[in-house]
Amino acid sequence: MPNGNYTLGIYDWGAGDLGTLTNWELTINYTVGVVASAAIWSPAAGLFSDAGATTAYVAGTRVDSVWARPTPSGVYPYTATVNNMINFNAVPATPMAGGNGNNLVAFNVKNNNAFPVTLAGIASNAFGSGAVVSRAFFKPSAIAGNPGAISAANGWNQFGTANNNVTANVLNPLMSGLTLQIPAGATYGIAVDMTGATFPAYTNGAATTVTYSNNGCDIITGGNVGWGGPAAPGSTVNNPRNFNGTVTFLVSGPGTCQSPARTVIVTVNEPTVLNANIPVSQTICTDKVATFTTAVTVGSGPHSYQWQVSTNNGVSWTNVANGGVYSGATTATLTVTAPPVSMNGYQYRAIVTGAAPCAAQTSRVATLTVNPLPVIVISAAPYTSLLPGLQTTLSSTVTPNPAGANGYSWLRNGVVLSSPALGVVSGIGTGSLRLDVDGQGDYQLRVTDVNGCTNISNTITIKDSASGKCFIYPNPTSGKFQVRYYSVANNVLPRFLTIYDSKGDRVFVQNYTIGRPYDRMDVDMRAFGKGLYWVEIGDLNGNRLTMCRVVIQ
- Residue after which a domain boundary falls, among 310, 340, 370: 370
- Residue after which a domain boundary falls, among 217, 252, 287: 252
CATH number at residue 360: 2.60.40.10
C-alpha distances in Å from residue 314, one per residue of 317, 320, 468: 7, 14, 73
* Co-location of 425 and 508 in the same domain: no
* Co-location of 247 and 127 in the same domain: yes
Residue whose C-alpha is closest to residue 135's, from 97, 219, 192: 192
pLDDT of residue 29: 54
* Co-location of 325 and 345 in the same domain: yes
* Co-location of 162 and 220 in the same domain: yes
| Half-sphere exposure (Cβ direction) of 393: Cα atoms closer than 13 Å | 9
CATH number at residue 110: 2.60.120.820
Tell me if 1 is assigned to some domain. no
Q: Which domain holds residue 203?
A: 88-252
What one-letter code names the amino acid at 510? Q
* Co-location of 456 and 476 in the same domain: no
- Measured in whole angstroms, the distance separating CA 317 from the mean position of its chain's CA atoms is 22
Tell me if 435 is assigned to some domain. yes
Burial 453-464 (b: 16+ CB within 10 A, else e): bbbebeebebeb
The pTM of the full predicted model, rounded to 2 decimals, is 0.60
- Measured in whole angstroms, the distance separating CA 33 from the mean position of its chain's CA atoms is 45
CA distance 357 to 280: 29
CA distance 72 to 83: 32
Tell me if 521 is assigned to some domain. yes
Tell me if 182 is assigned to some domain. yes
pLDDT of residue 9: 63
What Rg do the C-alpha atoms of the chain give, in angstroms? 59
Tell me if 33 is assigned to some domain. no
**Alpha-carbon dihedral angle through residues 100, 106, 112, 114, given to the nearest 10 degrees:** 150
Residue whose C-alpha is closest to residue 399's, from 345, 351, 462, 457: 457
**Alpha-carbon dihedral angle through residues 493, 494, 496, 497, given to the nearest 10 degrees:** 60
3-state SS, one letter per residue, for 288-338: CEEEEECCEEECCCCCEEEEEEECCCCCCCEECCCECCEECCCCCEEEEEC
pLDDT of residue 37: 85
Burial 41-74 (b: 16+ CB within 10 A, else e): beebebbbbeeeeeeebeeeeeeeebeeebeebe
pLDDT of residue 114: 86
Residue 454, classed as helix, strand or coil, is: strand
Tell me if 81 is assigned to some domain. no
What one-letter code names the amino acid at 424? V
Tell me if 38 is assigned to some domain. no
Residue 195, classed as helix, strand or coil, is: strand
* Co-location of 141 and 188 in the same domain: yes
Number of separate domains in the chain: 4
CA distance 95 to 245: 7
What one-letter code names the amino acid at 60? G
* Co-location of 474 and 507 in the same domain: yes
Return the bridge partners of 63, or none: 39
* Co-location of 190 and 336 in the same domain: no
Tens digit of pLDDT for each residue in 47-91?
999 999 999 999 999 999 999 999 888 999 999 999 888 888 999
Could you count the other beta carbons within 10 Å of the beta carbon of residue 174?
Answer: 25
pLDDT of residue 257: 86
* Co-location of 163 and 286 in the same domain: no
What one-letter code names the amino acid at 227? W
CATH number at residue 497: 2.60.40.1930
pLDDT of residue 1: 46
Please give the chain's pLDDT, 553 residues, in tens.
Answer: 456 676 666 655 556 656 666 666 666 554 556 778 899 999 999 999 999 999 999 999 999 999 999 988 899 999 999 988 888 899 999 999 888 999 999 999 999 998 899 999 999 999 999 999 999 999 999 999 999 999 999 999 999 999 999 999 999 999 999 999 999 999 999 999 999 999 999 999 899 999 999 999 999 999 999 999 999 999 999 999 999 999 999 988 787 888 999 999 999 999 999 999 999 999 999 999 999 999 999 999 999 999 999 999 999 999 999 999 999 999 999 999 999 999 999 999 999 999 999 999 999 999 999 999 999 999 999 999 999 999 999 999 999 999 988 899 999 999 999 999 999 999 999 999 999 999 999 999 999 999 999 999 999 999 999 888 999 999 999 999 999 999 888 888 999 999 999 999 999 999 999 988 999 999 999 999 999 999 999 998 889 999 999 999 9
* Co-location of 476 and 428 in the same domain: no
The single-letter DSSP state of residue 236 is P
Q: How large is the greatest C-alpha to C-alpha distance in the chain, in angstroms? A: 182
- Residue after which a domain boundary falls, among 464, 480, 500: 464
Residues 6+ apart with CB under 8 A from 181: 116, 117, 118, 119
* Co-location of 354 and 341 in the same domain: yes
CA distance 439 to 425: 9
The single-letter DSSP state of residue 36 is B
Tell me if 349 is assigned to some domain. yes
pLDDT of residue 7: 67
* Co-location of 228 and 312 in the same domain: no
